[in-house]
Structure 1
Amino acid sequence: MSEIDAAGSWPQVISQLLAGKDLSASHAGAAMRSVLSGEATPSQITAFIVALRAKGETEIELEGMLAEVRRAAERVFLPEQISLGALDIVGTGGDHSHSVNVSTMAGLVVAGAKIPVCKHGSRASSSKSGAADVLEALGVAIELDGIGVVKCVEETGFGFCFAQRFHPAFRFTGPSRREIGVPTVFNLLGPMANPAQISFMVVGVGDPLAANVMAKAITTRGVKRAWVVHGHGSMDELSLSGPCPVVEVDSGKMREFEINAASLGLAHADVAAVRGGSPKDNAKIFRDLLDGEKGPVRNIVALNAAAGIVVAGKADDMSQGLEIAFDSIDSGAARDVLDELIRVSVDAAKQMAQ
């Protein structure tokens, strides 16, 4: 019996999606099992993710697929006292803004504010530089096992879960995702598929219609509090160019509000002002920021770090969160986290190789 049999067959699933009909959680889960087991062909995977994207993913479908993604993953077991305060700050990607790696940089700033960060990310699929790419360019050893990730979080306050390492079954989706070159359901599932149990999340979405769907699906993830943010200018993080809608999930309850960088005293800047380049380029930009360079990149990184600081409960509002974020940068705390992360991760990688 094949995995897809629980949903009928691939032609049935794809026909249902093309007709604009939603899948049940169990049928969406069966389709995902077929994908992750390597049973589905590349053509079936491509047809599935394109038809699903064209129809629009529902929270029920995401819940069914996320359960299978997490079931197939290798887990990271953070100590409970760290897990209870741990944050992930991540974007869905696929916004084609080609910005610097804002969420990765912001995560290191948050860690500099003494909030444990366990970030889940991957290499770029539709941009020049993903989280894994820029961290690697900075000198971080990214392909650590669970023990190595925990060691990094414990000793530096920041750990990186490389998606390809902890979700090996994602290798079956890579060719289809790269060839079609547009955001798919995996852009939505990725941020929710952190192999570590975290308590707080800031998730950026480039598609405003995905915000509520993501927020509802996150309620099944077991997090205490999360913000799903959409940046003005269609960025998948809080931006500097205008009001940014936010959907908050707090203990299962949802509310919506806006964050405007201008009202927080940050200068207006368009997407072009925070555009990045190759992983090496983005690594240099981040090093310059840590060395005191002012400007839009510093502001957008601090803005998104502030969101993480508020969500994790260390600040009462965004103004206070910004103060803490800027202090993390200006005091050298964020730089210290990065330097220690490089040292500890490289050491952990050497231990893995023994």
Structure 2
Amino acid sequence: MTIAAPPFHLTELIRRCAGDRHLEADEAETAFGMILDGAATQAQTAALLAILARNGESAAELAGAVRAVRARAGTVQSARRPLLDVCGTGGDHSGSFNISTATALVVAGAGVAVAKHGNRAMTSRSGSADVLEAAGVDLQRSAATAEASLASAGVAFLYAQAFHPALQAVAPVRREIGIRTLFNLIGPLCNPAELTHQ
């Protein structure tokens, strides 16, 4: 399959970022929308992610990327309140173990509903999805299954790749470049449930 060349302005945005300029929120939303929709090449995706990481992602860049991801996401409804997530950002290269998943279970056991959003490890030893898969949890759960789990057990795992299928196009690039990217930072902000706390 051949991907059509993306509009010139994505290349222009990459050039401007390479010159130490930050993107406005609408520019970031457009750029990440193109990436998530498969309209950018892997080289363009890697370049933009690396340049933004080098520059330090701005609040506007994070907000624009979150809007792009959330516009393409599934949703999970729950009447449980409070409803929180303990999702971490990952990508710290510290070799630490995944503690947010255990935290989610402890918090839910204490009676607070948890919509645990997470993914596989990109740069660390294990992510929430890796831990839960090793424990036999089906990661490809539907929104209806997650909603039922929240209602009955007060906890559900919302696998990022199941609720954000557009992110699958970015995963190989993230793995290959092996650095913390904007996607690590926005993961907690893209939970498909309507949270009251994070």
Question: Which category of TM-score, normalised to the shorter sequence, fits these structures?
Answer: over 0.9
1:50 corresponds to = 50
Q: Which has the larger radius of gyration?
A: 1
Higher relative contact order (CA 8 A, sep 6+): 2
2:194 to 187, 194, 197: 197
1:110 to 100, 107, 110: 107
2:34 corresponds to = 34
Shift of 1:191: 1.2
1:167 to 164, 167, 170: 164
Shift of 1:3: 11
CA distance in 1, matches of 2:170, 2:91: 15
CA distance in 2, matches of 1:104, 1:38: 31
Q: Secondary structure at the match of 1:119?
A: strand
Q: Secondary structure at the match of 2:117?
A: strand
- Residue identity matched to 1:106: T
Shift of 1:97: 1.8
Shift of 1:11: 2.2
- In structure 2, stretches of 5+ residues that fail to align are none
CA distance in 2, matches of 1:126, 1:43: 19
- Residue identity matched to 2:23: L
Q: Count residues in correspondence.
A: 195
Matched, 1:18 2:18: yes
- Residue identity matched to 2:153: T
1:89 to 86, 89, 93: 86
Residue pair 1:53, 1:184 contacting (<8 A) in 2 also:
yes
- For 1:288-303, list aligned pairs within 5 A: none
Shift of 1:10: 2.2
Shift of 1:181: 0.5
Residue pair 2:5, 2:40 contacting (<8 A) in 1 also:
no
- Residue identity matched to 2:90: G
- For 1:224-263, list aligned pairs within 5 A: none
Q: Secondary structure at the match of 2:87?
A: strand
2:132 corresponds to = 135
1:321 corresponds to = none
CA distance in 2, matches of 1:143, 1:171: 13
Residue pair 2:72, 2:164 contacting (<8 A) in 1 also:
yes
- Residue identity matched to 2:67: A
Shift of 1:126: 1.1
Q: Secondary structure at the match of 1:129?
A: coil
CA distance in 2, matches of 1:91, 1:154: 24
Query: Percent of aligned positions with the same letter in both sequences?
Result: 41
* Higher relative strand content: 1
1:350 corresponds to = none
TM-score (normalised: structure 2): 0.94
Shift of 1:47: 0.6
- Residue identity matched to 1:75: T
Note closer, same or farther for the CA distance 1:189–1:4 as it changes in structure 2 (3 Å cut): farther
Q: Give deviations 1:217-239, integer Å, cap 9, x for gaps.
A: xxxxxxxxxxxxxxxxxxxxxxx
Residue pair 1:3, 1:30 contacting (<8 A) in 2 also:
no
Shift of 1:137: 1.4
Q: Give deviations 1:187-240, integer Å, cap 9, x for gaps.
A: 011111101111100xxxxxxxxxxxxxxxxxxxxxxxxxxxxxxxxxxxxxxx
Matched, 1:182 2:179: yes
TM-score (normalised: structure 1): 0.53
- Residue identity matched to 1:199: T
CA distance in 1, matches of 2:37, 2:5: 8
Q: Secondary structure at the match of 1:120?
A: strand
1:205 corresponds to = none
1:150 to 144, 147, 158: 147
Moved over 6 A (4+): none
Residue pair 2:97, 2:125 contacting (<8 A) in 1 also:
no
Shift of 1:9: 1.3
CA distance in 2, matches of 1:195, 1:178: 23
